[in-house]
């Protein structure tokens, strides 16, 4: 999840988003200011920038913030602007203990931004329950919940940081397809045969990973549908750089629509 993450507005390691932030429309976007040091973020309406006597400032929610101490996280979707206007003020980023050992960069970046990189289609309640599973990081650090890495979010949670979006497989993909693709997720995970049958052709992301249970009532139909989207390769493709090694006995299969390219 970290390998796919990039802070918004091309933020440098020590902040300095001022030039790109100055191009944002005023009084339109609700943003989260993510501190370069510390865990206290601020959510409010973006009113613009100011450069005065060598100081560069962000004007958010009626207050001025030093641009070299904060970076901007745009909260455009799936929140409704009017809902976000009612949830402004100071909030904790919520950095879990032990996550620092997993990340090559600042934990505030990973936990503070709302960039969308993964769409999980399946049972919302089951996905949220499974995200409570504790995973070990190192022998010296406490285990953390899987949800701290996935940061799964249901479609109507208000002003909550997220990296993965959870969509119910029983819904019509057309309700979400345009909105999701605007956020350019890297991959769609279709959890279960029913999700594959309904969502495979939705075009949410350039790559889809299908999890099909062999004993499912619609597993054969899902397998036939996947067969129609499959393109055989004459060689094994290397895993992306930075991806953890796959455990022994586990096969990674990625399905890519023939009409799309990475």
Supply the DSSP string of 142-211, one letter for each residue.
Answer: --EETHHHH-EEETT-SS---SEEEEETTS-GGGTHHHHHHT--SEEEEESHHHHHHHGGG--SS-EEEE
**10-residue averages of pLDDT along the chain (262 residues):** 59 67 88 84 91 90 90 76 72 82 77 82 89 78 84 72 86 87 84 88 84 73 77 59 56 51 38
The DSSP-derived string for 223-253 is HHHHHHH----SSPPPPPTTPPPPPTT----
Contact (CB, 8 A) for 146 and 131: yes
Q: What is the pLDDT of residue 49?
A: 94
Q: What is the pLDDT of residue 17?
A: 81
CA separation, residue 9 to residues 16, 74, 143, 247 (Å): 10, 9, 32, 36
Distance CA(248)–CA(26), nearest Å, equals 52
Indicate whether this model's pTM tops 0.75.
no
């Amino acid at each position: 999840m970290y390998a796919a993450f990039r802070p918004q507005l091309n933020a440098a390691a020590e902040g300095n988003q001022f030039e790109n932030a100055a191009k944002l429309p005023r009084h339109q976007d609700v943003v989260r200011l993510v501190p370069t040091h510390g865990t206290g973020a601020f959510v409010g309406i973006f009113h613009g920038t100011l450069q005065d006597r060598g100081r560069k400032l962000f004007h958010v929610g009626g207050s001025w913030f030093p641009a070299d101490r904060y970076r901007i996280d745009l909260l455009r979707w799936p929140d409704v602007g009017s809902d976000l206007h009612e949830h402004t003020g100071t909030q904790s980023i919520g950095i879990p203990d032990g996550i620092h050992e997993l990340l090559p960069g600042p934990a505030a970046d990973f936990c503070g931004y709302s960039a969308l990189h993964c769409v999980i289609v399946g049972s919302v309640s089951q996905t949220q329950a499974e995200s409570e599973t504790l995973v070990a990081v190192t022998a010296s650090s406490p285990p953390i919940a899987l949800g701290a890495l996935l940061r799964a979010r249901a479609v109507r949670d208000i002003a909550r940081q997220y990296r993965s979006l959870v969509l119910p497989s029983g819904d019509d993909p057309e309700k979400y397809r345009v909105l999701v693709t605007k956020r350019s997720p890297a991959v769609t995970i279709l959890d279960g045969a029913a999700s594959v049958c309904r969502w495979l052709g939705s075009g949410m992301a350039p790559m889809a990973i299908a999890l099909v249970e062999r004993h499912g009532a619609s597993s054969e139909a899902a397998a036939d549908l996947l067969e129609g989207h499959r393109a055989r390769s004459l060689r094994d493709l290397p895993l992306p750089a930075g991806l953890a090694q796959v455990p022994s006995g586990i096969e990674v299969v990625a399905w890519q629509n023939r009409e799309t390219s990475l």
